[in-house]
Chain A
Amino acid sequence: MKGDYVGQSLVRLDAEDKVCGRATYPGDFEMEGMAWMKILYAGRPHARVRGVDCAKAEALPGVLAVLTSRDVPCNEYGLQYPDQPVLCGPCDKEGADEVRFVTDQVAAVIAETEAIAEQALGLIEVDYEDLPAIFDPRQALEPDAIRLHPAYPGTPIHPELVFEFNVASRHRIRRGDVESAFEQADVIVESEYEIPGQEHAFLQPEAGLGYLDEQGRITVIAAGQWAHEDRAQIAHAMALEPEKVRVVYPAIGGAFGGREDESVQILLALAAQKVERPVKIVWSREESIVARYKRHKVYARARWAARKDGTLLAAENHVVADAGAYVYTTNKVMGNLLLTCNGPYRIPNVKTDVLGVYTNNLPKGAFRGFGAPQGNFIAESQMNKLAEKLGLDPVELRMRNLINPGEPMPWGSELPDDARGLKDSLEAVAERLGWSRDESGYRAPAKAARAGDPPHIVRGVGLAIGHKNVGFSFGYQENAWAGMELRGRGDEPEEGLVFAASSDVGQGTRTVIRQMAAEALGLPVEKLRVEPTDTAITGSSGSCSASRMTFMIGNAVRGAAEAVLARWREGQRPARAEHTYLAPKTTQIDGQTGAGDPNFSYGYVAAGVELELDTELGTYRFPRVICANDVGQAINPRLVEGQVEGAVIQALGWVSSEHFIERDGVAQTTTLSTYLVPTIADIPGEIETILIENPEPHGPWGARGMGEMPFIVVAAAVQHALRQAAGKWVDDFPFTIERVLRALKQER
């Protein structure tokens, strides 16, 4: 539903500050009397810390303090479950004296300058007892493997967190009878996939400033995705009331899920309290890469069955994911993998097992798509292979099997009535790629070499479709807070303030909030100001993740606008109101069968790629990539297009050049010269974005979440295109030159 402001491509609020260099990021702050902090990392994948001797470091002139495990009142943290020590070492908490990955943190030095802090790190003497380590999650499941975490009591709010031996999380779907379905099958496709991890590589390395504000509150300026969660975790580790802690978000240099868990926040708060001075930290690029969680690497076995006419009979998926050393959001990421790895298809018999497994590798966690990219790759690769084996067109096969709105998904809940986007996005992509349709169904364009192509240039076309949930799911009561204040003396408000704790990680959430507030209030957008994300002045609007923020905050803004306008009309000056939006309820899913109603909304998406392969060099490029995404209603189409383009390129990087390598728990790709994110020279010749707008009934003005969706379908589409060009299905990526050449060689 377009309006005066909704549906308009207004310029971002912060664009002018950013192009002038005026926008301040966490590393840009300076304060009077400011000290610096550096962190000591363990440098070994698994060890017991018997003792930490800081005497020499503390004696170095210019050192103000050294923090160790005993300085942390409650030495644990974690977004889903507090299984990680803030600082590893002896203390009251069982298991906190263990280092479980190479960049687990052991101590922090606070000094007058960064150089002194750095120098002091080398003077800290740590007594380690090295322990055996596990780097392959499949080995961690062996009965004789060592156990990496003490037994936990479990938590009723996350029943999938099982803490059985090294299994951190377990998800299952059981539907029908897979074994007898395989006996009736005409065609079976079996595959083993190795789906890689990924480094977020946002441009702004972690940084921040901790200080005591004018009210004595411990205040942290840092880049995160959920200010109130940062505050809660700082308060938990410091054993303080949350109100004693304040978190402020300045300009944030990208996130993509990589700022969802804590990085420098807790230590900055501890340091500021300890030395009672402002304390600053800026991570190097290497720290940003080696000391943070990544996308989950996944090992999967898939076995799918169909009848000759393409009717899907059964899908069996067994997935083992490397959770790394701590759980972070693994349990929820695996939940989304579970709900996407069978695709949006009508499959009467489903057996799915998804395990998140502890190892001594870097922790794995949230990254754009949150399990859906891995799940979607499994489903869509299986579908493309089935189409080939059946001799059916891949679009036709999908059309015959897509779940219709109102029909049950593998976990039993119905596909919502507004799910036309699945079909619409597939149709849009197929049409742009040259598919035709007659009474026998969809037909791919004839494969013809392009005039002028030398013999070593071959081409392929691939596609995939997908769905992903919007918002926190699995029984969590989704909520978001917004506040408003209208000022003025007369009948018409002269100025409006909008309060929201939404993290602007680059997606433009504050710009969109202002547009939606202007629409809801019926006021010119120029009269509205969006106040900073600061826990001292806002309630919690939840995390900028799960493609949820526009959906959730838009509804909160609508509620707050209605309430504040009522007060304005009653004569309140200034008029103030706030509103907490509660999304439709979801439920946990059954631990044995997966049955439940875990989501309240979905986004739908399709991608098509044209690939051009040089069979002599093994290099390839993408002359054209098309992405069709049902966004419900684009609040700001220009920003939405930017999200689609950015997601597609980030996904192309994951599939082609980004190769995150860990060896014995140590990251090997520790710089941007070895971990290769796409440059301007790597982008497709043409990238076409198609925005489909089937309104989401619960979404503000019909908007649905979209920030992750374009990412999730790209990998399977590229694999499909590469199969046609190279003659082989390559089931592990990134599709490096070596892998492509190997495939070509095997084919010949």
Chain B
Amino acid sequence: MKREISFRVNGAEATAVAGGGDRLIDVLREGLGLTGTKEGCGEGECGACTVIVDGRAVNACLYPAAEIDGREVTTVEGLTGPDSTLGPIQRAFVECGAVQCGFCTPGMIMSTKALLDGNPDPSDEEVRDALLGNLCRCTGYVQIVEAVRRAAVAGRDR
């Protein structure tokens, strides 16, 4: 049964009508026009739709929309500062060449954000585990790993 839910997206109040099999990704993309979150597979395998719900990285293609009632959602659009300044992870991805086609990038960045928020100095293994669910077909991941390391250093230096 559908019902009205209210939640916060990127710091702003939002409402939606959701229920049953409605997915978070559709509320974000179609309902709120936040098309930065991408759908690559619809089954939680590729991670392109990764967003953060209450501090945890989730696949928005699997996450039931109704479950965000009362929660805080962060999408890639929420990482940019005032005047469109890039956040430290975004900047590191740009500088390290971690972006090619860019379709995996928003999800990759959100997984990185969830990792670094909870663990500012991750080991290589922790980086690997955090990004295991985010597929990239272009870069071979090498420059992505470099970007995550640079973002971690930038975050600690602040």
- On whether the beta carbons of B36 and A21 are closer than 8 Å, the reply is yes
* B 72-93 contacts with A by CB, 8 A: 75-77, 79-80, 84, 86, 90, 93
Of A15, A285, A683, the residue contacting B43 (CB under 8 A) is: A285
Of A24, A641, A645, A671, the residue contacting B35 (CB under 8 A) is: A24
Asked if A22 is an interface residue, CB under 8 A from chain B, the answer is yes
Residues of B within 8 A of A204 (CB): 38, 40, 101, 103
Asked if B6 is an interface residue, CB under 8 A from chain A, the answer is no
Asked if A18 is an interface residue, CB under 8 A from chain B, the answer is yes
Per-residue interface assignment for chain B, residues 133 to 155, with 1 indicating a CB less than 8 Å from any chain A CB and 0 otherwise: 11111111111110000000000
* A 623-682 contacts with B by CB, 8 A: 638-639, 641-642, 645-650, 671-673, 677-681
- On whether the beta carbons of B95 and A11 are closer than 8 Å, the reply is yes
Also in contact, A672 and B135, with CB within 8 A (given A19-B109, A646-B140) = yes
- On whether the beta carbons of A20 and B76 are closer than 8 Å, the reply is yes
- On whether the beta carbons of A642 and B94 are closer than 8 Å, the reply is no
- On whether the beta carbons of B139 and A27 are closer than 8 Å, the reply is no
* B 45-83 contacts with A by CB, 8 A: 45-46, 48, 75-77, 79-80
Chain B: how many interface residues by the 8 Å CB criterion? 51
**Alpha-carbon separation in the docked complex, A432 to B76 (Å):** 41
Asked if B14 is an interface residue, CB under 8 A from chain A, the answer is no
- On whether the beta carbons of A19 and B90 are closer than 8 Å, the reply is yes
Quote the shortest CB–CB distance from B67 to chain A (angstroms).
22
Closest chain B residue to A285, Cβ basis: B41
Of B106, B139, B142, the residue contacting A21 (CB under 8 A) is: B106
Of B48, B79, B95, B133, the residue contacting A203 (CB under 8 A) is: B48
**Alpha-carbon separation in the docked complex, A200 to B138 (Å):** 11
Q: Would you call the interface of chain A mostly helix, strand, loop, or mixed?
A: loop
Asked if B104 is an interface residue, CB under 8 A from chain A, the answer is yes
Residues of B within 8 A of A683 (CB): 140-142
Asked if B131 is an interface residue, CB under 8 A from chain A, the answer is yes
Residues of A within 8 A of B105 (CB): 18-19
Number of A-B contacts (CB under 8 A): 164
Residues of B within 8 A of A650 (CB): 137, 140
Asked if B99 is an interface residue, CB under 8 A from chain A, the answer is yes
- On whether the beta carbons of B75 and A203 are closer than 8 Å, the reply is no
Closest chain B residue to A686, Cβ basis: B142
Asked if A256 is an interface residue, CB under 8 A from chain B, the answer is yes
Residues of A within 8 A of B109 (CB): 19
Closest chain B residue to A504, Cβ basis: B101
27 pairs, A vs B, C-beta closer than 8 Å: A15-B94, A15-B102, A16-B90, A19-B76, A19-B93, A21-B34, A22-B36, A200-B137, A202-B101, A204-B38, A204-B101, A204-B103, A254-B100, A254-B138, A256-B137, A284-B42, A285-B42, A505-B101, A507-B100, A639-B97, A646-B137, A646-B139, A646-B140, A671-B43, A679-B133, A680-B127, A680-B136
Chain B residues packing against A (C-beta within 8 Å): 34-43, 45-46, 48, 75-77, 79-80, 84, 86, 90, 93-95, 97, 99-106, 109, 127-128, 131-145
